[in-house]
């Protein structure tokens, strides 16, 4: 199966990553609000949740969440830059730099968590 030319471009994949990260972050929001509700309920409920977050699977999910946040942030900055800067071949470099920053932030968080 051959991929259409415009779908094999770095900007297309940056667009897909930005949309996917935004969707996944929106799906995460109800869980975030639930945890905030636990904090309001009392210390015991929140302490139980904090103990649960020590599980390795949850730590891994936190790293993925931070990478999604960084990817969405850099994708949004890329879109803002496209509004103010003319497009050129160097914009592929901007996409790569944004992806690198996202991964670096995720790795920095991972090393802080572990």
> Which is more confident, 15 or 114?
15
Give me the chain's average pLDDT, please.
Answer: 82
**In the predicted structure, residue 109 carries a pLDDT above the cut 90:** no
User: Degrees (nearest 5) of the Cα angle 86, 88, 89?
Assistant: 160
Query: What is the Cα–Cα distance from 13 to 11, expressed in whole angstroms?
Result: 5
**In the predicted structure, residue 60 carries a pLDDT above the cut 70:** yes
DSSP state of 45: H
Mention every residue, 6+ apart, whose C-beta is less than 8 A from residue 38: 45, 46, 49
Query: What is the Cα–Cα distance from 105 to 78, expressed in whole angstroms?
Result: 17
pLDDT at 75: 85
Give the domain ranges of the chain.
5-113
Token couple for 71: 């990817």
**In the predicted structure, residue 90 carries a pLDDT above the cut 70:** no
5-113 domain in CATH 3.30.930.10?
no
Token couple for 41: 């309920």
pLDDT at 27: 92
pLDDT at 4: 62
**In the predicted structure, residue 8 carries a pLDDT above the cut 80:** no
Q: Measuring CA to CA, which residue among 95, 104, 89, 100 is closest to residue 15?
A: 95
């Amino acid at each position: 199966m051959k991929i259409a030319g415009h779908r094999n471009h770095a900007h297309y994949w940056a667009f897909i990553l930005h949309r996917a990260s935004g969707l996944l972050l929106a799906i995460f929001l109800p869980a975030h609000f639930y945890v905030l509700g636990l904090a309001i309920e009392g210390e015991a409920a929140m302490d139980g949740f904090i103990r649960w977050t020590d599980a390795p699977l949850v730590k891994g999910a936190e790293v993925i969440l931070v990478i999604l946040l960084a990817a969405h942030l850099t994708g949004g900055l890329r879109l803002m830059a496209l509004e103010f800067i003319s497009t050129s071949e160097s914009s592929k470099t901007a996409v790569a730099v944004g992806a690198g920053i996202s991964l670096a932030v995720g790795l920095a968080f991972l090393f802080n968590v572990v």
